[in-house]
């Protein structure tokens, strides 16, 4: 992880909200997300009904596979679609499953796709690439010479993608929040989402059912937190609020859909195992607003570029249990406790990673986790990561 980014991020974040304001917002967010997840079924029904009343087509997909099938039907024979950054859509692996070419319109995603190297960070996917590496990837993949300077690269990407975005028939985005009253809220800094959700004839939104909150007042709290904890901004550059397809009644009060914006809005809500998780002891993982703050301040992510994950056996044991993620989470997800509880579950199944077994053996045999160390030697293996 880029150290300059982390230092600047912490500074910006503390300027955007005082610690008292931040704590108040965390409490409110925790409560509103908890209520939403405790009433998930009701929230999903209400959101579906409101969106449909607004003229959207809504699909409830039980699994990622069902979501892909719906996408195929909506996209039809289109040759390419323009897409914004979305971790939910990324999990569908649509580039392998759809016939249409997927054009990434987020600068970071576009660059990461060209370079074939994507950082796992949910907000900054090209953070680990240098200007030189990006310029080289553009030369190799698109045969264009671009000076290895950030502003020149952005200028090139802007011009390259503009034409694609303006001529696409289908725009595909995620959603940061959906309300039970029928609003889809998507925030961004670049402006690509504003274009691809408005200009193509069809706008498809794919989101997990855990993105639903009660109303716009709650949605605004999520937007604020996503900006502050995500990038240290006071507020995102753009907040798109979409309630339905574009329409006009300007001619004789005749209602026509598709004036200047999207003619059709399709919303695919993915369930996966979320109803089950919502009833279990790890339900707080559904509170996540994907801000990425837990990545920014995690010592393991900063050292090895991979964030520990409570439910993943190998990745759980990489966690140092330092609590940074829990203390910095705007929705108060107690990841640290989740790591401990999952470990207890793994221990019951007698599942312990090889490296940890070795460390325990070494402590028993040599009194240290590294094994036999002769005078002046450094340990051959550290077993930590
Ligand atoms: S508790 Fe684990 S996951 Fe969280 S910040 Fe510390 S090392 Fe990272
Ligand atoms: S767990 Fe918390 S800090 Fe991490 S991405 Fe989700 S909301 Fe942000």
Angle subtended by helix axes 131-142 and 150-167, to nearest 10: 40
DSSP H helix total and E strand total for the chain: 18, 12
Cβ burial 188-226 (10 Å sphere, 16+ → b, else e):
bebebbbbbbebbbbbbbbbbbbbbbbeeebbbbbbbbb
Which numbered ligand comes closest to the C-alpha of 323?
A: 1
For residue 1, what pLDDT is reported? 59
Phi, psi for residue 352 in degrees, rounded to 5: -135, 135
Residue 120: pLDDT band (50, 70, 90) is confident
Q: Please answer whether residues 91 and 113 qualify as being in contact, where contact means their C-beta atoms are separated by less than 8 angstroms.
A: no
Cβ–ligand 2 distance for 288 under 6 Å, the answer yes
> 3-state DSSP: the chain helix, strand, coil percent, rounded to 5?
50, 15, 35
Mean predicted confidence (pLDDT) in 335-347: 88
Angle subtended by helix axes 3-16 and 216-231, to nearest 10: 140
Mean predicted confidence (pLDDT) in 22-50: 98
For residue 353, what pLDDT is reported? 79
Most confident range, picked from 93-97, 122-126, 265-269: 265-269
Domain ranges for the chain, please list them: 3-277, 297-366
- For ligand 2, atom 3, the nearest C-alpha belongs to 329
- Name which residue leads in pLDDT, 5 or 282: 282
Cβ–ligand 1 distance for 335 under 6 Å, the answer yes
Cβ–ligand 2 distance for 123 under 6 Å, the answer no
For residue 332, what pLDDT is reported? 97
Most confident range, picked from 123-132, 179-188, 315-324: 179-188
Tell me which residue of 112, 121, 175 sits closest to 5, measured CA to CA.
121
Which numbered ligand comes closest to the C-alpha of 293?
A: 2
- For ligand 2, atom 4, the nearest C-alpha belongs to 294
For residue 348, what pLDDT is reported? 81
366 CA to centre of ligand 1 in angstroms: 28
Q: Which atom of ligand 2 is nearest to the CA of 287?
A: 7
Cβ–ligand 1 distance for 382 under 6 Å, the answer no
Cβ–ligand 2 distance for 290 under 6 Å, the answer yes
229 CA to centre of ligand 2 in angstroms: 9
The CATH number given to 3-277 is: 3.40.50.10420
């Amino acid at each position: 992880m880029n150290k300059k980014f982390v230092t600047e991020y912490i500074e910006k974040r503390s300027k955007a909200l005082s610690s008292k304001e931040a704590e108040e917002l965390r409490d409110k967010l925790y409560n509103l997300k908890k209520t939403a997840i405790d009433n998930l079924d009701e929230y999903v029904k209400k959101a579906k009904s409101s969106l449909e009343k607004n003229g959207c087509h809504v699909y409830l997909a039980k699994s990622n596979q069902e979501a892909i099938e719906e996408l195929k039907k909506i996209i039809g024979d289109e040759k390419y679609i323009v897409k914004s950054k979305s971790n939910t859509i990324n999990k569908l692996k649509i580039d392998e499953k759809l016939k249409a070419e997927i054009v990434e319109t987020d600068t970071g995603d576009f660059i990461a796709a060209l370079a074939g190297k994507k950082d796992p960070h949910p907000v900054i996917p090209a953070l680990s690439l240098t200007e030189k590496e990006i310029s080289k990837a553009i030369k190799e993949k698109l045969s264009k010479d671009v000076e290895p300077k950030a502003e020149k690269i952005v200028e090139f990407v802007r011009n390259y993608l503009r034409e694609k975005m303006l001529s696409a028939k289908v725009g595909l985005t995620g959603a940061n929040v959906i309300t039970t009253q029928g609003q889809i809220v998507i925030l961004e800094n670049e402006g690509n989402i504003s274009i691809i959700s408005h200009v193509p004839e069809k706008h498809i939104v794919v989101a997990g059912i855990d993105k639903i909150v009660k109303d716009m007042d709650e949605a605004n709290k999520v937007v604020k937190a996503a900006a502050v904890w995500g990038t240290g901004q006071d507020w995102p550059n753009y907040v798109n609020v979409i309630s339905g397809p574009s329409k006009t009644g300007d001619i004789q009060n005749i209602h026509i859909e598709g004036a200047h914006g999207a003619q059709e809005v399709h919303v695919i809500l993915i369930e996966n195992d979320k109803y089950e998780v919502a009833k279990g002891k790890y339900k707080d993982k559904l509170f996540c607003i994907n801000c990425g703050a837990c990545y920014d301040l995690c010592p393991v992510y900063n050292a090895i570029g991979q964030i520990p994950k409570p439910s993943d056996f190998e990745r759980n044991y990489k966690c140092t249990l330092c609590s940074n993620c829990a203390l910095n989470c705007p929705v108060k997800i107690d990841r640290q406790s989740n790591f401990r509880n999952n470990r207890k579950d793994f221990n019951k199944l007698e599942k312990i990673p090889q490296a940890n077994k070795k460390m325990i053996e070494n402590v028993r045999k040599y009194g240290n986790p590294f094994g036999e160390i002769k005078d002046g030697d450094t340990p051959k293996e550290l077993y930590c990561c």
